[in-house]
Structure 1
Amino acid sequence: MRDTLHTWSLHKRARRRWWRCFWQEALDNVPLLFYILALKTLVLCLGFAGVKIYQAKKEEAKLKIQRAEQRRIAEQVQELLDNELLDNKKDN
């Protein structure tokens, strides 16, 4: 029984030593993890900003096409009105 307790305490010390080494290595990597987190955040922000710019340009192009179409229709209507006025003047 005493031999088993002695073995258990040795294992306990070894486990404690292992945990100490594990945490020491983990804490050594904290600055690197912060740099990785900052880089990831920067990449995500730039990605979202890029998407917003893309969406804005796409919307602007759509509005430009829509305004050109409205302008074309307005010119056609104006031509029809001008032609009708000319026809009325010729008749008078």
Structure 2
Amino acid sequence: MQKRLNDYFDPVERRIEIVKAVLFDGVYLYTEAEDDQWRTKTQWLYVDSLPMYLYTEAELNSDYDFIVKIPNTGINQLQLRAEIEYYMLQSKNYRIDLI
């Protein structure tokens, strides 16, 4: 889809990008009460001396499946939305951001 959008709306500079909306992969931390007696779910926070960063739920979830980044050059957003919705799955949500 990114190639099609660049071919149609920005054929020379090809600045239109499609990126994932969720930037972080989450790791769930279990409490001792949630630990299973048959299979341990306990994990160390530091693996091979590299820190594991903790994020809030808002940072791990998004209302959108992908983000379409377009240059601020007067692209007709109605035509852009029509083109995106023609090629994307109906169950996906997206957002258009100007760069």
Q: Which TM-score bucket, shorter chain as reference?
A: under 0.3
Q: TM-score scaled by structure 1?
A: 0.20
Q: TM-score scaled by structure 2?
A: 0.19
Q: Which has the higher contact order (CA 8 A, sep 6+)?
A: 2
Higher percent of residues as strand: 2
